[in-house]
Amino acid sequence: MAYQPFDLTGQVALVTGGNGGIGLGMAEALAQAGADLVIWGSNPDKTAAAEARLEAIGGRVLSRVVDVSDEHAVAAGMTAAVEAMGAVHTVIANAGVSGKGQPFAETTTESYRKVLAVNLDGVFFTFREACRHMIDRAKAGDPGGSLVVISSLSAVEGAPRNEPYASTKAAVLAMTRGVAVEHARYGVRANAILPGWIATEMTGDAQGSQVFTDKVITRVPARRWGQPADFGGLAVYLASGASSFHTGDSFIVDGGYGIF
């Protein structure tokens, strides 16, 4: 029999913020590998458009408007996903917001709390509900699962004028390692991905700046912006049996920027 570790037929993957950017890039690759998809987003029109795009690839697709900073919405969304799909095998906590690019001394408590609510609380709520489901499945004789969080290169590098965002992205690394150790007995893996400069809506202003291009993107050894599709292969790997012994790790996807 041919080695087919990346065939995700029969698997269900849930992607928060799966209606655009890195999340949609990963969702498309997962669908192409045979997985059924659940995508959450906060914008109804954008989420519906992403659902149609994924349905065109094939397989079942369920979309839902979910504010991940609302624990009740996350719990209801996970329950709905399991009821509709039968199980959820991979959960990618990708939803996030950026800071306002303010000097640290001028950052308001309100803006700080908003970033924490989505980027940190949202991951906590999402992973907690996913773990509850995966533990129940394991106890019922169906162990296994993959949890993935989208962190950021800013978690390990100095991020001036973006300290609230960077703080959340560093915090989820610690959360992921703890989840990985605690839930390995249930066959559940947890890993993090740290993107560098990726061309998404979040970086729209920077993409339109020649100064930013000259000072930052020219320093990327790969000599380009990263694209959402650059994360597809890693998403499929982490959702597949090929990564069954790979947990508690962090993957940097930045075109070499962090080491240059």
Report pLDDT digits (tens) over 43-59.
999 999 999 999 999 99
Q: Is 19 helix (H, G, I), strand (E, B) or coil?
A: coil
In a domain, 259, yes or no: no
In a domain, 214, yes or no: yes
- pLDDT value of residue 16: 98
In a domain, 143, yes or no: yes
In a domain, 7, yes or no: no
- pLDDT value of residue 201: 86
Average pLDDT score over the chain: 96
Into how many domains does the chain fold? 1
pLDDT mean over 219-234: 96
In a domain, 6, yes or no: no
In a domain, 25, yes or no: yes
pLDDT mean over 114-134: 98
In a domain, 260, yes or no: no
List alpha helices for 140-231, DSSP H: 163-183, 204-207, 210-215
| Domain at 93, CATH number | 3.40.50.720
- Asked if the model's pLDDT at residue 1 lies above 80, the reply is no
pLDDT mean over 249-258: 97
- Asked if the model's pLDDT at residue 204 lies above 90, the reply is no
Beta bridge partners of 92: 15, 148
- pLDDT value of residue 40: 98
Q: How confident is the model at residue 205 (pLDDT cuts 50, 70, 90)?
A: confident
Report pLDDT digits (tens) over 67-117.
999 999 999 999 999 999 999 999 999 999 997 788 999 999 999 999 999
In a domain, 3, yes or no: no
- pLDDT value of residue 2: 81
- pLDDT value of residue 202: 87
Two structure tokens written together for 137 = 């499945």
Residue-range definition of the domain harbouring residue 34: 12-252
Q: Which residues are catalytic?
A: 165
The answer to whether 241 and 222 are in contact (CB under 8 A) is: no
- pLDDT value of residue 99: 79
